[in-house]
Structure 1
Amino acid sequence: MRYDVLIIGGSFAGLSAALQLGRARRRVLVIDAGQRRNRFATTSHGFLGQDGVPPGQIIATARGQLARYATVEIRDGAALGVTGDEQGFVVETDGAPAAGRRLILAGGVTDTLPEVPGLAERWGKHVFHCPYCHGYELNQGPIGVLATGPMSLHHAQMLPDWGPTTLFLNGAFEPDAAQLADLARRGVTVERTPVAGFFGAGADIRLADGRTVPLAGVFTLAQTRLTGPLAAELGVDIEEGPLGQCIQVDAMQQTSVAGVFACGDTARLAGSVALAVASGTMAGTAAHRSLIFTA
């Protein structure tokens, strides 16, 4: 079978794109490796109507709703490679290859976390990247910002709205005089002693001099890279930002390669569930329109 649209990635953006196309009665295949970026988080926040719901539950509900659309198929598995152009694409999977007229990349990104003992196992539970997603639940308790570079300054400047904030420089950078003055204005404590690791079962940080700093939660900026090989194989334009990679798209989520769209964290340097759903909606409708007006 040749599908109208192949969607790589079955998380919030990919399923949102599939919903628009299914409602347009187009034949759609979603290829999903099951590696949601927020799979480590117990609850999702900031998405209207779903605030506080476990992200896996949102996805399960979405899959159940998509099952009502006879033209939408979801295949569990990884997309391993791609060939083709605007006349048609073939995606190699760990099952049978799939062919489609259009392609939507929604495979997300992979986070590379700071190498601090105890951080990885706390990711999504006590250590976060998005204040809007997790800051409120810290109940105005003490918050840490673990610096990974100059961009962490913005994290530290924002977070006092959610609780008293300490910026742990950890040798990542040194704020200049103006930046230090602004941090002081925001009430941020600057800690220059290196971080030895996390202490206990929560977010408390142990410093190299033996002190322990009790914290309700910690925020840090991970480096990101695109998940999977398809973007590179297609030759779409990729933006290299201070925090990692994303695919360049226009307002309609169209990439630099005709017939290829991208959405979700794949196509923006900062993301959330709500933004992923919005961009997936746009990618799905744009792919549908391209089938009509440029067929």
Structure 2
Amino acid sequence: MRETYDVVVVGGGAAGLSGALALARARRSVLVVDAGAPRNAPAGHVHNFLTRDGTPPAELLAAGRAEVTGYGAEVVTGTVAAAERVDGGFRLALAGGGAVGARRLLVTTGLVDELPEVAGLAARWGRDVLHCPYCHGWEVRDQPIGVLATGPLAVHQALLWRQWSADVTMFRHTAPAFGDEEQEQLAARDVAVVDGEVAALEVADDRLTGVRLVSGLVVPRAALVVAPRFAARADLLTGLGLTAAPQEMGGHVIGTAVSADASGATDVPGVWVAGNVADPRLQVIGAAAAGLNAGAMINADLMAEDTRRAVAARRAG
């Protein structure tokens, strides 16, 4: 690795690699530091990515790395332990030892899905324990689907998944009783409601077969929908004065995210964010677009700085 780069990208998912690609094609020196633990690793395929629908996540990332390095960017496996501002940019301490400098910083570290504590649930995440209907709805269409009520958007979630199957059951679990209007909506769409706390998932032949309540009742289901809390991976930014703030959807807090403008620029000059660390609602193609946008804006910012320096040198000369 060099001692200093124009841009260091922390996180090598769709957002980070897209930003790195734009910057490398702009002839900037770029280093991507990636921990190798993408959020969508448990999923079998990426969907809604035009021309790449159905591609396994690892295959998509491998193709992205090849494109990025083909333009001269560098990609290393590792994590950034800390970041600090120094004269001329930033100094990043790597977890394995050593440090690297950067004129600009693009953070695309994503988020962590904090799942409900139900026995067997985490092991099925991304397979038949699901969250996003646009990512997985088609694959479980017309199958018996359960929805675990864990937050204020549970009814909305059940009604949404009803688009993909006529057999949707809401497990009220530990949620309070639904209001009259919500109960009417669920009844009108033939969504059954099962009272009682969920104890565990039933699995056979490595597939979900049912949801077991504390009472012992087992309701056959082929998929279970949950609403995780989206926690931004933003610890790296704390040393630069940035913290993740509560993120709302429909007036309800769904997790945390790092605030930024439309270009991904944060309140700290020289630091951009893109992807799920800034917006937990983004799918892969949206994260890639956000990374591209941030990369272009970073290049423009560097161009302005290069021009200022050139003008100052010309005047001095």
Q: TM-score range by the shorter chain?
A: over 0.9
Alignment of 1:173-252 (within 5 A): 173-201=176-204, 202-203=207-208, 204-227=210-233, 229-236=235-242, 238-241=244-247, 242-252=253-263
For residue 31 of structure 2, give the secondary structure of its aligned residue in structure 1.
Answer: strand
Cα distance between partner residues in 1 of 2:12 and 2:123: 25
1:18 corresponds to which letter in structure 2? A
Deviations 1:90-110 (A, max 9, x none): 111124211011001101111
Distance 1:280 1:78, change over 3 A: same
Alignment of 1:106-117 (within 5 A): 106-117=108-119
1:239 corresponds to which letter in structure 2? A
Cα distance between partner residues in 2 of 1:137 and 1:258: 43
Deviation (angstroms), 1:145: 0.9
- Larger radius of gyration, structure 1 or 2? 2
Match of 2:44 in 1: 42
Alignment of 1:139-154 (within 5 A): 139-154=141-156
Cα distance between partner residues in 2 of 1:186 and 1:288: 50
Cα distance between partner residues in 1 of 2:185 and 2:88: 54
1:253 aligns with 2:254: no
Deviation (angstroms), 1:264: 0.7
> Which region of structure 1 is more displaced relative to structure 2, 55-64 or 238-247?
238-247
Deviations 1:17-68 (A, max 9, x none): 0000011010001010111001111111111111111100100111112221
Deviation (angstroms), 1:85: 6.1
Match of 1:84 in 2: 85
Match of 2:157 in 1: 155
Deviation (angstroms), 1:223: 1.4
Deviations 1:209-254 (A, max 9, x none): 2222122211111112222521222222532132211111111111
1:41 corresponds to which letter in structure 2? A
Runs of 4+ in 1 over 6 A off after TM superposition: none
> Which region of structure 1 is more displaced relative to structure 2, 209-218 or 242-251?
209-218
Match of 2:295 in 1: 284
Q: Is the contact between residue 246 and residue 268 of structure 1 (CA under 8 Å) also seen in structure 2?
A: yes
> Which region of structure 1 is more displaced relative to structure 2, 122-131 or 85-94?
85-94
1:293 aligns with 2:296: no
Match of 1:64 in 2: 66
Deviation (angstroms), 1:294: 4.3
Distance 1:175 1:32, change over 3 A: same
Cα distance between partner residues in 1 of 2:87 and 2:138: 45
Identical columns (%): 38
Match of 1:265 in 2: 276
Match of 1:119 in 2: 121
Cα distance between partner residues in 2 of 1:269 and 1:125: 20
Aligned residues: 294
Cα distance between partner residues in 2 of 1:286 and 1:207: 51
Structure 1: segments with no counterpart, 5+ residues: none
**TM-score (norm: length of structure 2):** 0.89
1:28 aligns with 2:34: no
> Which region of structure 1 is more displaced relative to structure 2, 210-219 or 11-20?
210-219
Match of 1:133 in 2: 135
Cα distance between partner residues in 1 of 2:34 and 2:214: 43
Cα distance between partner residues in 2 of 1:258 and 1:86: 13
Distance 1:173 1:254, change over 3 A: farther
Cα distance between partner residues in 1 of 2:226 and 2:136: 12
Structure 2: segments with no counterpart, 5+ residues: 248-252, 307-317
> Which region of structure 1 is more displaced relative to structure 2, 48-57 or 182-191?
182-191
